[in-house]
Structure 1
Amino acid sequence: MLDWSFLTDVTGQLLSGLPLTLQLAALSLTIGFVLAVFIAGAVGSAFGPLRWIAKAHVELFRGTPLLLQIFLIYYGLGQIAPLRQSVLWPFLREPYWCAILALALNTSAYTAEIIRGAIQAVPAHEIEAGRACGMSGFLLCRRIIWPIALRQGLAVYGSEAILMIKATSLTSIITLTELTGIAHKLISSTYRVFEIFIVTGAIYLALTFLMSTAFALLERHLQAHHAHRRA
């Protein structure tokens, strides 16, 4: 029989780690998206070395486990002597910023491919219609390519955002006390694994449900706005 008083107490303690979980996800997704825009542009660049670096970045961070990337950044950067003496070291020696860096670099690789695929999925006749109306360059991108690409890639990016929320649980291995980190501490003091992980899973489930609902509503709004404009 479930001990409801214990579950209530555990829920309150676990929710104290929710702000850190949301911070990690929000910052990582924001920084990762900005990086992904440049990476996606570089992948399509005519400049060979830049294109090669961008493709290498995508393959590296998509082809290796996120857990390994966190370990390498947190434990590996400290092995580089010039870095320890640089202005970046006060940040990179902190587990919080190492976690942000690892998560942001990881999601930037996936998001760059989402952006590239969404842009490639823009129908050619829509682009030609824009050019026929006298659009070119930035105006063509702003009025035709980017709005269509946004609708094309939003659902896939929503999945990436949900994955990133769940990926924040890996940062507990470098001492961050987000949801999973607090769950491990509670387990080590109470040895009640089942109840604690049930509550932890329920909180993650609620987060991902809210995120998926938000993206679904946004996608519906964009589709309705597009239909209204065409009408």
Structure 2
Amino acid sequence: MSDWPVAIGTWLGNDIFVRYWPRLAEGLGVTLQLVAISIVLGGLLSLPLALARFRNRGFASTLAYGYVYFFRGTPLLAQTFLVYYGAGEFSDTLRGIGLWGFFKEAYWCVLLTFSLNTAAYQAEILAGAIRAVPRGQWEAAHALGLSKPVAFVKIILPQAFVTALRPYGNEVILMIKGSAVASVVTVFDLMGATRLAANRTFDEQVYLWAAVVYLLLVETIRRVWDLIERGLTRHLRRRA
């Protein structure tokens, strides 16, 4: 691990930061891990949900609507409590099917909750982006003799992803900030490590350091996302 955070803490005369930086760095790693995995898993789940939402009819569409409505309409904290504490109510059943080892660990419950939550938001983002693709693209693909599945995968979906880039970036940033919920159920992410340091030192200044780390993390992601978006949409700017 680099010594620059310790050097900064020493320069500022902040012994607490020097002492607890390794724990904060470890918590930051847990935060990044939770967000990265949940975004990927949520993205995989969001595709069938978005397709069901896009069709606007049938049982699958109704089920997808209910799923999205619930996870977008209730707080992430309440969802985390439902999964983590609610699983304990069914411990015997979960043991019987071999899943209690998963649900008894706070980390896995948080990861599951985050993935289900972001899947709902990503599904709405993707469904909206698919609707934004001009109808003429479907007609052109049909005129070329392409089947609907092929046209969707090769023509519609890539354009929808480009349209959804900015909202996807916002969702990643929201998940970074929302991940602090994990600390409430004893997961030592960045906020969990910060709370531990504050409880042991009785110095609330450590929350300021955590806020700075979150701010730097969000700004880094924002800048990286801008570069990605610029790279993927450079052909649109040239055409303009």
Structure 2 length normalisation: TM-score?
0.88
In the other structure, the counterpart of 1:42 is 52
1:192 aligns with 2:203: yes
Which residue in the other structure is 1:86 paired with?
Answer: 97
After TM superposition, the structure 1 stretch with the greater mean CA deviation from structure 2, 84-93 or 109-118, is 84-93
Name the aligned partner's letter for residue 82 of structure 2: L
Aligned residue number for residue 212 of structure 1: 222
Partner Cα distance (1:54, 1:142) in 2: 21
Instruction: Report matched runs for 1:26-37 at 5 Å.
Output: 26-37=36-47
Letter in 1 for 2:43: F
Alignment of 1:1-231 (within 5 A): 3-45=13-55, 48-80=58-90, 81-193=92-204, 195-226=205-236
Which stretch of the first structure deviates more once superposed, 179-188 or 217-226?
217-226
- Paired with 1:99 and 1:121, the residues of 2 have a C-alpha distance of 33
Q: Distance in 1 between matches of 2:153 and 2:197?
A: 50
Q: Deviations over 1:120-140 (max 9, x none)?
A: 001122332333333332331
Shift of 1:47: 6.4
The offset of 1:161, in angstroms, is 0.8
Q: Which runs of 5+ in 2 are unaligned?
A: 1-11
* CA distance 1:125–1:42, shift in 2 (3 Å): closer
Structure 2 SS opposite 1:134: coil
Return the TM-score normalized by structure 1: 0.91
Deviations 1:27-84 (A, max 9, x none): 1111111111111122234762222211111011111100000001000112124224
Code of the aligned partner of 2:151 = L
Q: Which moved more, 1:70-79 or 1:123-132?
A: 123-132
Aligned length: 228
Aligned 8 A contact 2:67 2:120 in 1: yes
Cα–Cα, structure 1 residues 218 and 140, in superposed 2: closer, same or farther, change >3 Å? same
Deviation at 1:173, TM superposition (A): 0.8
SS at match of 1:219: helix
Task: Report Cα offsets for 1:142-183 as digits up to 9, x if no partner.
Answer: 332112101110100110011111111100111111100011
SS at match of 2:233: helix
Q: Does the 8 Å CA contact 1:11/1:199 hold for their aligned counterparts?
A: no
SS in 2 for 1:62: helix
Structure 1 unmatched ranges of 5 or more: none
Amino acid at match of 2:194: A
The amino acid of 2:100's aligned partner reads: W
How far did 1:87 drift?
1.5
Give the direction of change, closer, same or farther, for the CA distance of 1:163–1:46 in structure 2 (3 Å limit). closer
